[in-house]
Structure 1
Amino acid sequence: MRTTMIEKRFFKATPKSIQQAREFATVTLAGWGCGERIDDVRLCISELATNALVHGTVSDHGFLVRLDAEDDVVRLEVHDSRREQPKSREAADTDLSGRGLVLVAALADDWGVQDRAPLGKIVWSSFKGAGVNRA
């Protein structure tokens, strides 16, 4: 029997929302018994939410975070209002930004981007071994 859990929350387009998104993930995943990779998910949510806030939201539009746990896999999605695709790049040692997607790729088992209707995109990452604990 498959166990599926879904939670989502909308966040305003403010810097404070990044911390709130991390807290949302921590509380949600702990409540589901998904503690194995919670630090990986928290770091990825910080990076993806920051990207949504800085690059993905149209003025005053926030972003949506969705967590989906099914058996042994957690999927994190960050929905924003711009279709512009994120670009992973190699940041120079002196760059103050540009490492977020590199971190997501290193921590998550998979990640990608898909269009969202009627506009915007979803940047997602998945984590094996982090799913619902049925003990």
Structure 2
Amino acid sequence: MIESVQRYFEAHPESVRQAGEFASTTLAGWDIAERVDDIHLCVSELATNALVHGTVSDHGFLVRLDAEDDVVRLEVHDSRRRRPGTRQAADTDVSGRGLVLVAALADGWGVQDRTPLGKIVWSCFKTAGGTTA
């Protein structure tokens, strides 16, 4: 059985923290514990990217979580079509490592274009499979 939940967040810096809390609370409700830290960090990174690079002025972003069997899929929907990519940040850079972290923590990630405006950045995480209700 597929469990799915989504929530829209306003374009405010505190929304990144709220998105992480939303993910952690959702996973706890689904009885999925072993990847919570990885998923929480990836939500934070993808939400930050959406807020800083992916949203049209005054548009927020949507976080969606799906759980099926032994996989959790995280999606962050934003309103710009510009595709993100990993980059090699210098030791002195204070940003630019978000997608590198996502690639390291997730079992897969990618970008799906939406029409007419925006994109979905997704990542998947293998789990032991919770007892979804």
Q: Give the TM-score normalised by structure 2.
A: 0.96
What is the 5 A alignment of 1:1-135?
Answer: 3-129=1-127, 131-133=129-131
State the Cα deviation string for residues 69-114 of structure 1 (Å, max 9, x = none): 0010000000000000002101000001000000000000000001
Shift of the alpha carbon at 1:116?
1.3
Which residue identity lines up with residue 30 of structure 2 in the other structure? W
The Cα RMSD (Å) is 1.0
Unaligned runs of 5+ in 1: none
Unaligned runs of 5+ in 2: none
Determine what percentage of the aligned residue pairs are the same residue.
73
Shift of the alpha carbon at 1:130?
5.3
Alpha-carbon separation, structure 1, partners of 2:91 and 2:18:
29
Q: Counterpart of 2:34 in 1: which secondary structure?
A: coil
Which residue identity lines up with residue 27 of structure 2 in the other structure? L
4+ aligned runs moved over 4 Å, structure 1: none
Given the superposition, is the C-alpha separation of residues 44 and 130 from structure 1 closer, same or farther in structure 2, using an over 3 Å criterion?
farther
Matched pairs, number: 132
State the Cα deviation string for residues 55-78 of structure 1 (Å, max 9, x = none): 000000000000000010000000
Alpha-carbon separation, structure 2, partners of 1:58 and 1:130:
38
Q: Counterpart of 1:78 in 2: which secondary structure?
A: strand
Contact 1:49 1:63 in 2 (8 A): yes
Which residue identity lines up with residue 39 of structure 2 in the other structure? V
Alpha-carbon separation, structure 1, partners of 2:116 and 2:28:
33
